[in-house]
Amino acid sequence: MKNKFMLIIASLLIVSLSVIFGFTNKPASSGILTMRTLEANGLVDNSISIVYENGKVEKIELSKLSGRDHSQNLLIINETINRLQSSGYHLISIAGGGDGISSIITTYTFEKE
């Protein structure tokens, strides 16, 4: 009877330690980065604003929104996303809005691993 009790206790201890160490071995995220693009026809500054996990803010200017050609701004946005990914950030969320004709606002959320 005593051996069965010790076997049960030892089994519970092994399972408990496996669960505890299974969750603690996962690397923790070191922060969230938010990038927002604003493209508009009006008087608004067209730009990319990046807020890093340490609170530093970076602003990149974009061209005014043109009904004919969006490719110049797309190139800059794409280069910025590629730069962030090569710096260890992983894109986890995108949300967009605006009226689609005179303004486009897109928010990108990145996580650094």
- pLDDT value, residue 113: 77
Confidence bin at 27 (pLDDT 50/70/90) = low
71 confidence band (pLDDT: 50, 70, 90): confident
More confident residue, 91 or 10: 91
Q: Which domains does the chain have, with CATH numbers?
A: 31-112 (3.30.1410)
Task: Write out the two tokens for 26.
Answer: 């996962």
Please check the confidence at residue 41 and state whether its pLDDT lies above 60.
yes
Global pTM value: 0.70
| Structure confidence by residue, pLDDT tens digits, 44-68 | 789 999 999 999 999 999 988 766 6
Separation of CA 19 from chain center:
28
Angstrom CA distances, 94 to 36, 64, 91, 106, 110, stand at 10, 22, 8, 7, 9
pLDDT band at 30 (very low <50, low <70, confident <90, very high): confident
Total residues found in the chain within this entry: 113
pLDDT, residue 55, reads: 94
Q: What pLDDT score does 81 carry?
A: 97
Taking each continuous run of H as one helix and of E as one strand, the counts in the chain are 2, 5
